[in-house]
Chain A
């Protein structure tokens, strides 16, 4: 089946079998390897993409289901420069092995798009279900708080 959708801002189309997950579709057909297969059952969050702006687990979505939708991976949130969220993660050590990081960054983006002023509890809500084994989550939460600060500052300047 031909799937036509927006991928990181570009119109794309490709054939997909019905039993192909969006995760495999993105990784194998589009070579977007930032989306990870941590468990393939929706239990870890590393396969997260934004579907029409909402964070979802791409291992639990069929490629054919995104026809007409917009899909964003972490490659799609930065331009020539890092997205402020990414910059915050860099500056606040919001990662260690980095495997959960694309998912965390996308979850943070979805949160900040909806709520530019999150408190720690809102951040925990948004990041719940994104498993991290390395960091103990502390610096990830701090990175999201920092991101919200950076975004506010950059808006004040414009």
Chain B
């Protein structure tokens, strides 16, 4: 049963202009962060904590013959050396399936896999200990290409693939026969490193029968489960505290449970506080990354410009373990049509084990790769059909009443068509498109403009259902203690929650204090990913606040002698509507609640409004709602060097109600830059499974000087009914739309199309000479 929050809230306030929600407030974490008071995991300097360093595999695929700890144990300062045999619970930490140990026991499947842990009194002793551990390997043939892995016999695991996904809608074969234009291409999208500024870290403190872990994670409850499993403890005995996190982007979703478990294991075995902090090298070398995709995309349309069918095959290189590939493969498949109505869809995706580094969630989660293919196809089709690319997209855009590629009915909150129109108008698409044609043939710098659309279902993809909880406690002085399971990774979600709670209860925002994320405070509330922090986490906050509000109104009505619906609360004053003189302070009301034994607190728990697609056909409702994005990119290509300068980006989002306009601008800008990096410079260079450009010098992320002009985002507030205030999520669509917009713009400028991300300047240079 899902509440129509939008209607309820509109009824409660009899307005759609709220006092707090939708305005720009001071973020609740602002002062902490600008003063340096904000503490991140590695800032918790626990007295006498032991230092943990991993011993990692020297080969991408090998049998572990023996591990000799003896020399290491003699190193002064080394406390102990932990191997797989020492794991008290289950040595398993796979994200979706149990194919992954925390510490390798019989063999290693990627270079950098943890084979042992050295625990020591100082960092230097830990390193010396690592150097002294002797591991004997028997090398096995290794494979780094998924195509090769499928063909050969590498026996990385029992099966060659941890899973696949398929979509079957309509009759694709027949539909292609009716198409006037068919385009088929192969696209490749590479890996990407999250490169957040805070590296992975965890501090574990044994406390009696329990253990507390402070760590860099995006999923305290999943982390808690993982730690409990490794330690052989009850979930209730594990407490995860998540302080400020220095960027996540999905990397700390995948790796949070792992880094936390490593510290917890050491703490349990030594019965001492233990700390592990990854160096930047560790982060580049060991932490899982974006999944490389190879996509064969075939799409067809009729000459009136209507898409008829898509046939998509894709392979994901998931590396040595499945990690999050299963979820992201499904997401990519469910979004494979792009933001368009396509009546016939055949999609087949498979993940393949190789001996590369396993894969992580990363902003977009399979969509940046898939949508790169989709939006390139759209431009190619548009050109063959001789229709303007923007017009072609508008013609096929999903609208309320459309069915997606998984046959999900989108009956409302589908703002993409309006968004495309808005963005193209803002960017002056028509006139600029003409301009590109007029640059001289022999100009050394050519300009072009390109467009791309994106979408991203809000909520966790995958096997389990999707839920969230929140807790609101009214304190006797009227102030409010609020707890959520959502993690503040920079996106400002916790401020959004506080705003919603304050709005619904009618108190000043300052009265709401958001507690540090602590798993003992509330029921499992899922992860902070997939754009779900506000649409689900926030709705849980609103749910709790609304329930309290009912009780507040009822009590106030009794105290002030009126009907509950006549009660208004504004700025901490409770009064009778149209009779302001009849009032009392919120504080007095809460005190009365305590006096009368009316529960002044509320735990909420909500379920996402979605189902499970059918495993055979892929049809169903995988997400509650979809956020849409559209970005237009203007580029200038230096024809002599291959440098692509992005001159300006015009991003746009249809993300339901915008709670914090300036915070969303930051999100959209940041995501656009992530997309820009993925498009142009962020190449992960590997040699036999090892990342050989693992430093900020050689893994090239944009600096302030690489920032293009960023037009303030355009938005369409296509409110979603079943979430608080009509919000959806916003954190991923801008990234997804940016690379194809840039690549389409490069084509517009140069007439050369690139089918592989990233499009580095060297690739552009040789591509322009040879044509691809």
Direct contact between A and B in the complex (CB less than 8 angstroms)?
Answer: yes
Which residues of A have CB within 8 Å of B667?
96
Per-residue contact bits, chain B 79-113, to A (CB 8 Å; 1 contact, 0 not): 00000000000000000000000000000000000
Which of A27, A36, A74, A91 is the one whose CB lies under 8 Å from B197? Answer: A36
B31 in the interface (beta carbon within 8 A): yes
Contact with B along A94-111 (1 / 0, CB 8 A): 111111111001000000
CB distance from B198 to the nearest CB of A (A): 5
Q: Which residue of A lies closest to B34 (CB)?
A: A86
**Known contacts A34-B36, A124-B704; is-contact A134 B27 (Cβ 8 Å):** no
Q: Are A97 and B30 in contact (CB under 8 A)?
A: no
Judging by beta carbons under 8 Å apart, are B32 and A98 in contact? yes
Whether A39 contacts B246 by the Cβ 8 Å rule is no
Contacts A96-B490, A97-B196, A138-B707 given; does A91 touch B26 at CB 8 Å = yes
Q: Please classify how large the interface on chain A is, using the bins under 10, 10 to 19, 20 to 34, 35 or more.
A: 35 or more
A115 to chain B, nearest CB (A): 16
Q: Is the CB of A43 within 8 A of B662?
A: no
B35 pairs with A74, CB closer than 8 A: yes
User: Which positions in B face A, CB cutoff 8 Å?
Assistant: 24, 26-27, 29-40, 42-43, 45, 194-199, 244-249, 277, 279-280, 489-492, 662-663, 665-667, 669-674, 695-697, 701, 703-705, 707, 710
Q: Which A residues are CB-close (under 8 A) to B662?
A: 92-93, 139
Nearest-CB residue, chain A, relative to B24: A93
In the complex, whether A66 has a CB less than 8 A from a CB of chain B is: no
- Once bound together, how far apart are the Cα atoms of A94 and B704, in whole Å? 13
Chain A residue contacts of B277, Cβ below 8 A: 37
Indicate whether A99 sits within 8 Å of B246 (C-beta atoms), given known contacts A39-B280, A127-B704, A138-B669.
yes
Contact assessment for A82 and B39 in the assembled complex, using a CB-CB cutoff below 8 Å: no
In the complex, the answer to whether A136 meets B673 with C-beta atoms within 8 Å is yes
| Of A35, A40, A75, A140, the contact of B704 (CB 8 Å cutoff) | A140
B195 cross-chain contacts in A, Cβ below 8 A: 131, 133
- Closest Cβ of chain A to B564, distance in Å, is 38
* CB within 8 Å for A136 and B666 given contacts A40-B279, A99-B198, A128-B705: yes
Q: List 15 A-B contacts (CB under 8 A).
A: A31-B45, A33-B36, A34-B35, A39-B280, A82-B35, A86-B34, A91-B26, A93-B24, A95-B30, A95-B490, A97-B489, A98-B29, A99-B246, A134-B670, A139-B669
Interface centre among B196, B489, B672 (most CB of A within 10 A): B196
Query: Could you say which of A82, A95, A124, A136 has the most chain B C-beta atoms within 10 Å of its C-beta?
Result: A136
B701 engages A101 (CB within 8 Å): no
Closest to B664 in A: A93
Q: Is the CB of A95 within 8 A of B36?
A: no
Q: Which residues of B sit under 8 angstroms from A44, Cβ to Cβ?
A: 197, 280, 696
Chain B residues within 8 Å of A97, by CB: 196-198, 244-248, 489-490
- CA of A60 to CA of B652 in the docked complex: distance in angstroms? 41
Which among B33, B244, B666, B704 has the greatest number of chain A C-beta atoms within 10 A?
B704
Mask of A123-144 contacts with B, CB within 8 angstroms, 1/0: 0100111111111111111000
Q: Are B280 and A40 in contact (CB under 8 A)?
A: yes
Does A73 touch B at the CB level, under 8 Å? yes
Contact A136-B33, Cβ < 8 Å, known A99-B247, A128-B705, A129-B703: no
Q: Mark A51-65, 1 if CB is under 8 A from B, else 0.
A: 000000000000000
- A63 CB, nearest partner CB in chain B, Å: 15
Are B696 and A39 within 8 A (Cβ)? yes
In the bound complex, CA of A100 to CA of B672 (Å): 18
A96-B490, A135-B666 known; A86+B198 contact, CB < 8 A? no
Chain B's nearest CB lies how many Å from the CB of A107?
10
Chain A min CB distance to B158 (Å): 38
B31 close to A133 (CB less than 8 A) = no
How close is A152's CB to chain B, nearest CB, in angstroms?
A: 20
A92 vs B672: C-alpha distance when bound (angstroms): 19
**Chain B residues near A148 (CB-CB < 8 A):** none
Residue numbers in A under 8 Å from B39 (CB-CB): 33
Instruction: Tell me if A136 and B34 are in contact (CB < 8 A).
Output: no
- For B492, what are the chain A residues with a Cβ–Cβ distance below 8 Å? 96
- B704 cross-chain contacts in A, Cβ below 8 A: 124, 127-128, 130, 132, 137, 140-141
In the bound complex, what is the Cα–Cα distance between A44 and B697 (angstroms)?
9
Q: Tell me the complex Cα distance, A96–B671, Å.
A: 12
Q: In the complex the two chains form, is A105's CB within 8 Å of B197's CB?
A: no
Contacts of B38 in A (CB 8 A): 98
B696 near A90: Cβ-Cβ < 8 Å: no
Is A28 in the interface zone, CB < 8 Å from B?
yes
Contact A33 B45 (CB under 8 A): yes
CA of A27 to CA of B39, assembled, Å: 12
Q: Is A116 an interface residue (CB 8 A)?
A: no
Q: Tell whether A69 is near chain B: CB-to-CB under 8 Å.
A: no
Q: Smallest distance from the beta carbon of A3 to chain B beta carbons, Å? A: 20
Closest to B703 in A: A128
Residues of chain B within 8 A of A82, CB atoms compared: 31, 34-35
Residue of A nearest to B279 (CB): A40
Q: In the complex, what distance in Å separates the CA atom of A119 from the CA atom of B198?
A: 30
Judged by a CB distance under 8 angstroms, whether A2 is at the interface is no
Report yes or no: B707 in contact with A136, Cβ–Cβ below 8 A. Answer: yes
Shortest C-beta distance, A122 to chain B (Å), equals 12
- Separation in Å of the B491 CB from the closest CB of chain A? 7
Check: A5 CB closer than 8 A to any chain B CB: no
Which residues does chain A contribute within 8 Å of B198, judged by CB atoms?
A: 36, 38, 97, 99
Residues of B within 8 A of A141 (CB): 704
Chain A residue contacts of B249, Cβ below 8 A: 133
Q: Is A12 an interface residue (CB 8 A)?
A: no
Q: Known pairs A75-B35, A82-B35, A136-B672. 7 more at Cβ < 8 A?
A: A31-B45, A40-B280, A97-B198, A97-B248, A98-B32, A127-B704, A137-B704
A contact residues around B673 at 8 Å (CB): 136-137
CB distance from B496 to the nearest CB of A (A): 13
A62 to chain B, nearest CB (A): 16
Find out whether the CB atom of A132 lies under 8 angstroms from the CB atom of B197: yes
Looking at the assembled complex, report how far the CB atom of B662 sits from the nearest CB atom of chain A, in whole angstroms.
Answer: 5
Which of A86, A89, A100, A138 touches B710 (beta carbons < 8 Å)? A138
Q: Which residues of A contact B24 (CB under 8 A)?
A: 93
Using CB atoms, name the residue of chain A closest to B196. A133
In angstroms, Cα B279 to Cα A33, docked, is 16
